[in-house]
Amino acid sequence: MTILEVISDELNAPAEPDAVIDDLAIDSLEYIELLHRLEQVFSIQIEEEDLKNVVTFKDLCEVVDKLRAAKQQSFDPRQNHSSLTEIEQKELKRRADFSG
């Protein structure tokens, strides 16, 4: 599922990349729920600081992509990741086994 698909699904409407988020009929609770859904789907943590320059859905997608990339770069499969879900732990073990 792409980031825009998650956004569209959560808002029950198509999410155009260049749409200005504040121009849409999205209240603050819906926006928070959207951010929470993105965090869940992509296993990231979005901080308020990350959102300071977000104006469009494209901006939000770039933030999510940046956080996903940072998470992947900081990952070491040999470390203990007990805070990860069971599915995430299995995937990490599979990757570690695959890479030798």
| Rounded CA Rg of the chain | 16
Please, how many CA atoms are within 13 Å of residue 61, restricted to the half-sphere of its CB?
17
Q: What are 33-74's pLDDT values in tens digits?
A: 999 999 999 999 999 999 999 999 999 999 999 999 988 877
- Please give the Cα distance from 73 to 9 (Å, whole number): 28
Q: What are 63-94's pLDDT values in tens digits?
A: 999 999 988 877 555 555 555 666 666 666 67
Least confident of 5-9, 24-28, 96-100: 96-100
- Please give the Cα distance from 27 to 43 (Å, whole number): 24
pLDDT of residue 25: 87
CATH assignment of 3-99? 1.10.1200.10
Least confident of 13-17, 18-22, 64-68, 90-94: 90-94
Specify the DSSP class assigned to residue 56: B
Residues 95/77, Cβ–Cβ less than 8 Å: yes
